[in-house]
Amino acid sequence: MSKERSSIDMILLTAILMLLVIGLVMVYSASSVWSDYKFDDAFYYVKRQGLFALLGLIGIVVMMRMPYVRWLNWSVYLYGICLLLLIIVLIPGIGMVRGGAQSWIGIGAFSVQPSEFMKVGMILLFAALLPKLQDRIHLFFNGFLPSLLMLGVPFALMMLQPDLGTGVVFVGTGMVLLFIAGASIKHFMLLGGVGIAGFIGLIVSAPYRMSRITAFLNPWEDPLGDGFQIIQSLYAIGPGGLLGLGFGQSMQKYFYLPEPQTDFIFAIMAEELGLIGGAFIIGLFFIVVWRGTVIALNVEDLSASLLAFGITAMLAIQVMINISVVIGLIPVTGITLPLLSYGGSSLTITLMSLGILLNISQYATIKTS
């Protein structure tokens, strides 16, 4: 770890806080009609989102002040705890089922999603261990395969829930870290072939996944069934135009777009804030990814660099997948838009992981903030 320590990256922190505020405002706008109908309280969802945002802000302050090295030292234990939680969530009577997936542990409306914790747990483990494997990561059996198993076991547990969306983000982030650590391209090509075959197998083995593929290819073939959500999402984005219909003026949140405050919140944003508002939000995410990459490239400690790259890649992959789903570029996967979608575990863990990134920024040797 570099001995010199400076102030945190204020550009990164500002972008994070702006996204958080926009998210809280838009969760209220997107959910007010549904929450008023269901709970007789238009603020039902935003109050809970605000609580998790507060927990996340406390977490981000703690992470900024706590040296990242401590988390690296605890990485094996944290990974083991996350793995145990992934197993526990599958036990009948303990894991909570929502939307057909047994992915939550908790009581009532307050619950946590172990797969969200595992994403960060894997990044910490890889950041701690991959530098030690650097001289043999290019070897399949002595370097690449053991690392792959650290990804494969949690991914398999996620598929048993099932939670393909989080699994894709998890594996994608791990692949980025393995590539940066120096894994062989031919091993990635081999893995890609196996991965494609496995992905096809996952789709064929679950009828609902196949229906999502067919709905993606032609959503109007089943407009009231599997194609309903993506059609309503496009109906929201289209009328938004350049400037949008105005804050709170969305029509699709009036029981057309299901659960608009969650995975499809970007559609409501595009409808109310227009192309300019949507571009501004994407621009804020770009700033976060840009600053995260700058930090990763300019910190001396290899473990810190991998940790920064991992956190940045995790957020970037999740943003790209979510927005691609909303605008109809890829099939529905069921993952949130970081910092913006309603979801306690996702919001709190994202803020805490960004707190670690801000802590690492204090050790970056070159900064433009």
**What are the contacts of 250-255 at 24+ separation with CB within 8 A?**
250/29, 250/30, 253/29, 253/30, 253/31, 253/32, 253/33, 253/34, 254/33, 255/33, 255/34, 255/37
Total length of the chain: 369
Task: Read off the pTM.
Answer: 0.91
Using the 8-state DSSP alphabet, how is residue 220 labeled?
G
Confirm if 79 and 122 have CB atoms less than 8 A apart: yes
Residue 172: which of 309, 288, 308, 317 has the closest Cα?
317
Terminal C-alpha separation, the chain = 21
pLDDT at 369: 43
User: 10-39 and 265-297 helices cross at what angle (nearest 10)?
Assistant: 160
Chain-centroid distance of CA 341 in Å reads 10
pLDDT tens digits, 219-257: 777 666 667 788 888 888 988 889 999 998 999 998 888
3-class SS of residue 90: coil
pLDDT at 107: 64
3-class SS of residue 343: coil
pLDDT tens digits, 134-161: 778 877 777 788 888 999 999 999 988 8
pLDDT at 30: 93
Q: Which residues does the chain have with pLDDT short of 50?
A: 1-3, 367-369
